[in-house]
């Protein structure tokens, strides 16, 4: 095996040198790992990033050349494992090639996006979302190292269904919990034929390995990594492994851009999870989901030079920096949902021709397939339906029938201010880029932009800072500290044309209009006693609120 074949394609790390994952190494000042947690080092982060990326591409060739064997693929309920995948010609065999082709076809299938999303409305239509993972094994100095990479949210519309199921079940995010349980249910079927032969066993499954670890044997260790949704699934899987009795010192997990997965009152959150999370301060995703991350969190705060590398000519869009600042000011899941509802409300107000032209003008590589495949007849109905779903999710998360009127008015007003100053198209591009570019895991081979999370593991590792997180402070304090605990000020009210009314949510009389101001910079939020909100005379029921939302999203003639 040549030296070149042993290197990862994105970070240059050797894929056959994995001792750093469990070594008691010490990182830069302030980056000491938790007691009992795996070693914290740039090499471990780079290896984990390569594993997380492999879960998207499912390209096993570099790992195979580095000595990894016993590959398994879990793709939308179909499991490819054992001798069927690894026997004969190995990774060049017909079965592996057909599995990868099936995955590619799955991502490109069903161009009727509205039809796909409508199917999710049906009761029990949850099979559309399914866990996607890769599993492999390699001999190491203590026995065998099992690697599990979880794929994040894909470009297909069905991949988003689990993210939006934000209700809590047993203290955990219900959508991520379902995907984790789907993987855990495959533990008796995932096979390791090479390891079984080396150990003189007829058959070796993941369940056998977990039972061995539970019984105190030391010949197996488990390493896992994931990005975005994949990192969230990995957290819940590790929670189940610890509950199953697997010792924490035999586990190592790395998450990139992970959403939160647990409630602040979740009893298991007090464990010391052998998981390390890396987060970009410009990325909104790590602040949404539930309340807590399971594991230790480290924040990277990009400076202006970093942003030039990450975002390139997008910074030339004058609306982009302010939109990025707006998204960074969102403090959690509730704010993120209000922001989504505000964006959908603005999209629904646009003439159909303007909206379709804007959607077609978005960059294809960063735009989900389901959004680019919309037809004119289905654009507005889908936007209205999505707004209703976001309202449902808001109710599930907060327990309130209607959104916080003051907070919603502030977010909506700030978006409207950007549109008034820069135009609808520049604003829409800024919203899309500010939501996607800070979240990228690896560099795009066809573009010159640097991916933030890849940069953290190769160039910016020494600048990571540990975030305190406790049950009494469920949200990562990193973001509050990075913003010096400041919130955005009310945006100036837009000048309205006589032809169009200012749309308010959920009703005109229930929202206090933000005061006119020429200052849109961040300001300290008022003390709780100073906040006065104008509430309706009678409390809105959930049904009434949803009816008003539906009426505001009625289709208008061209």
pLDDT tens digits, residue range 130-186?
Answer: 788 999 999 988 899 999 999 998 766 666 777 888 888 888 999 999 999 999 999
Domain that includes residue 237, residue range: 1-79+132-300+441-487
Beta-strand ranges (E) seen in 76-200 are 78-80, 132-140, 143-150, 168-169, 172-173
Q: What percent of the chain has pLDDT over 90?
A: 43
pLDDT exceeds cutoff 90 at 279: yes
Report yes or no on 495 lying in a domain.
yes
Q: How many CB atoms lie within 10 A of CB 102?
A: 16
Same domain, 239 and 362: no
Residue where a domain terminates, one of 430, 454, 487: 487
Query: Secondary structure of 251-306 in the HEC alphabet?
Result: EEEEEECCCCCECCCCHHHHCCCCEEEEEECCCCHHHCCCCECCCEEEEECCCHHH
What are the C-alpha distances in Å from 88 to residues 78, 95, 103, 138, 328? Answer: 21, 10, 22, 19, 51
CA distances from 497 to 62, 250, 264 (A): 59, 64, 46
The alpha-carbon radius of gyration of the chain (Å, integer) is: 24
Q: Which of 333-347, 388-402, 486-500 reaches the highest mean pLDDT?
A: 333-347
CATH number of the domain residue 288 falls in: 3.40.50
Please report, for residues 12, 66, 416, 513, the alpha-carbon distance to residue 323 in angstroms, rounded to integers and kept in the order given: 34, 43, 11, 21
**Rounded Cα–Cα distance for residues 482 and 479 (Å):** 5
Cis peptide bond upstream of 506, omega within 30: yes
* Pair 463, 412 in one domain: no
Per-residue confidence (pLDDT) for residue 497, from 0 to 100: 34
Pairing of strands 251-256, 78-80: unpaired
- pLDDT category at 446 given cuts 50, 70, 90 is low
CA distance 419 to 414: 9
CA torsion, points 438, 253, 180, 432, in degrees to nearest 10?
0
More confident residue, 334 or 388: 334
Give domain status of residue 29, yes or no. Answer: yes
Residue 167, token pair as written in the block:
């209700």
| Measured torsion, CA atoms of residues 531, 532, 533, 534, in degrees rounded to the nearest 10 | -170
Quickly state the pLDDT bin for 517 (edges 50, 70, 90).
very low
Asked if residue 411 is part of any domain, the answer here is: yes
Structural domains in the chain (count) = 2
* Separation CA 48–CA 91 (nearest Å): 22
Which one is predicted more confidently, 494 or 428? 428
More confident residue, 386 or 189: 189
**Domain-located, residue 197:** yes
- Which residue is associated with the tokens 């074949």? 5
Locus of tokens 């030079």: 305
The tokens describing 405, both together, are 């009127």
Angstrom distance (rounded) from CA 438 to CA 455: 11
- What is the mean predicted confidence (pLDDT) over 61-82? 87
Residues 481 and 494 in one domain: no
Helix (H, G, I), strand (E, B) or coil at 553: coil
The answer to whether the beta carbons of residues 457 and 383 sit under 8 Å apart is no
C-alpha–C-alpha distance, residues 429 and 436, integer Å: 11
Helix ranges restricted to H, 423-519? 424-436, 452-458, 477-482
pLDDT: which is higher, 244 or 384: 244
Start-to-end C-alpha separation, the chain: 64
* 319 close to 422: Cβ distance less than 8 angstroms: yes
Q: H or E segment at 48?
A: helix 42-57
Residue 350 contacts residue 413 (beta carbons within 8 Å): no
The pair of structure tokens assigned to 311 is: 């975002």
Contact assessment for residue 316 and residue 310, using Cβ atoms and an 8 Å cutoff: no
286 and 401: one domain?
no
My answer on whether 210 and 246 are in the same domain is yes
Kindly tell me if the per-residue pLDDT of 505 is higher than 50.
no
Residues 406 and 550 in one domain: yes
Same domain, 283 and 165: yes
Considering the domain architecture, whether residues 322 and 232 belong to the same structural domain is answered as no
Structure tokens at 460: 């910016």
Asked if residue 123 is part of any domain, the answer here is no
pLDDT for position 383: 75
What is the phi/psi pair of residue 279, to 5°? -135, 140
Average pLDDT, rounded, for the chain: 75
Instruction: Please tell me which residue, 513 or 151, carries the higher pLDDT value.
Output: 151
Tell me the two tokens of residue 203.
Answer: 């058959």
What average pLDDT does range 391-406 have in this prediction? Answer: 80
Question: Which residue among 487, 505, 523 closes a domain?
Answer: 487
| Candidate from 431-435, 460-464, 516-520 with smallest mean pLDDT | 516-520
Last-in-domain residue among 487, 509, 524: 487
Calculate mean pLDDT across residues 322-342: 91
If asked whether residues 175 and 58 sit together in one domain, one would say yes
Has residue 91 been placed in a domain? no
Give every CB contact of residue 388 below 8 A, 6+ residues apart in sequence.
546, 549, 550, 553
| Percent of the chain residues topping a pLDDT of 70 | 66
* Contacts of residue 300, Cβ cutoff 8 Å, sequence gap at least 6: 278, 279, 280, 281, 452, 456, 460, 463, 464, 465
Q: Which of 298-307, 452-461, 522-531 has the lowest mean pLDDT?
A: 522-531
Inside any domain, residue 21: yes
Structure tokens at 369: 């397939």
Is 280 in the same domain as 352?
A: no
Tokens of 449: 């932009």
Q: Is residue 239, in this structure, part of any structural domain at all?
A: yes
Residues 199 and 340 in one domain: no
10 Å Cβ neighbour count for 83? 11
Cα 73 to its chain centre, rounded Å, is: 21
388 and 240 in a common domain:
no
Provide the pLDDT for residue 84. 63
């Amino acid at each position: 095996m040549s030296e070149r074949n042993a290197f990862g394609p994105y970070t240059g790390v050797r894929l056959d040198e994995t001792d750093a994952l469990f070594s008691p190494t010490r990182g830069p000042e302030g980056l000491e790992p938790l007691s009992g947690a795996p070693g914290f080092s740039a090499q471990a982060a780079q290896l984990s990033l390569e594993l997380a990326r492999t879960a998207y591409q499912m390209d096993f060739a570099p790992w195979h050349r580095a000595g990894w064997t016993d590959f398994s693929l879990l793709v939308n309920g179909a499991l490819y494992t054992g001798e069927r995948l690894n026997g004969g010609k190995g990774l060049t065999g017909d079965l592996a090639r057909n599995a990868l082709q099936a995955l590619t076809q799955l991502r490109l299938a069903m161009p009727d996006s509205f039809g796909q999303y409508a199917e999710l409305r049906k009761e029990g239509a949850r099979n559309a979302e399914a866990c996607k993972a890769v599993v492999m094994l390699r001999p190491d100095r203590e026995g065998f190292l099992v690697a599990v990479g979880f794929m994040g949210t894909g470009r297909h519309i069905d991949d988003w269904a689990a993210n939006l199921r934000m209700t809590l079940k047993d203290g955990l995010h219900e959508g991520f919990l379902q995907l984790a349980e789907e993987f855990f249910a495959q533990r008796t079927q995932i096979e390791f034929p090479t390891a079984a032969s080396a150990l003189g066993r007829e058959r070796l499954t993941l369940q056998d390995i977990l039972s061995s670890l539970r019984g105190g044997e030391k010949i197996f260790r488990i390493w896992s990594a994931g990005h975005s949704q994949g990192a969230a699934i990995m957290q819940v899987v590790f929670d189940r492994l610890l509950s199953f009795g697997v010792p924490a010192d035999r586990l190592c997990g790395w998450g990139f851009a992970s959403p939160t997965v647990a409630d602040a009152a979740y009893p298991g959150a007090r464990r010391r999870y052998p998981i390390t999370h890396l987060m970009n301060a410009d990325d909104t995703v790590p602040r949404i989901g539930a309340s807590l991350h399971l594991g230790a969190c480290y924040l990277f705060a990009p400076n202006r030079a970093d942003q030039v590398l990450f975002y390139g000519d997008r910074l030339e869009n004058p609306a982009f920096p302010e939109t990025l600042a707006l998204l960074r000011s969102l403090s959690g899941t509730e704010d993120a949902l209000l922001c989504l509802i505000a964006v959908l409300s603005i999209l629904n107000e646009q003439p159909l021709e303007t909206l379709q032209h804007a959607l077609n003008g978005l960059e294809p590589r960063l735009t989900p397939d389901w959004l680019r495949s919309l037809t004119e007849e289905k654009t507005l109905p889908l936007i209205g339906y999505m707004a209703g779903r976001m309202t449902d999710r808001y109710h599930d998360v907060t327990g309130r029938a209607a959104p916080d009127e003051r907070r919603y008015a502030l977010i909506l007003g700030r978006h409207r201010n950007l549109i008034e100053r820069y135009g609808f198209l520049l604003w829409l591009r800024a919203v899309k880029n500010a939501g996607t570019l800070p979240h990228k895991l690896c560099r795009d081979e066809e573009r010159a932009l640097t991916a933030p999370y890849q940069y953290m593991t190769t160039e910016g590792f020494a600048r990571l800072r540990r975030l305190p997180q406790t049950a009494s402070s469920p949200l990562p304090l990193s973001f509050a500290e990075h913003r010096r605990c400041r919130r955005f000020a009310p945006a100036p009210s837009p000048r309205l044309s006589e032809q169009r009314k200012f749309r308010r949510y959920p009703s005109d009389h229930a929202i206090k209009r933000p005061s006119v101001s020429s200052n849109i910079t961040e300001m300290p939020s008022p003390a709780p006693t100073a906040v006065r909100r104008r509430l309706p005379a009678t409390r809105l029921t959930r049904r009434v609120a949803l009816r008003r939302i539906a009426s505001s999203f009625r289709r208008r003639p061209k």
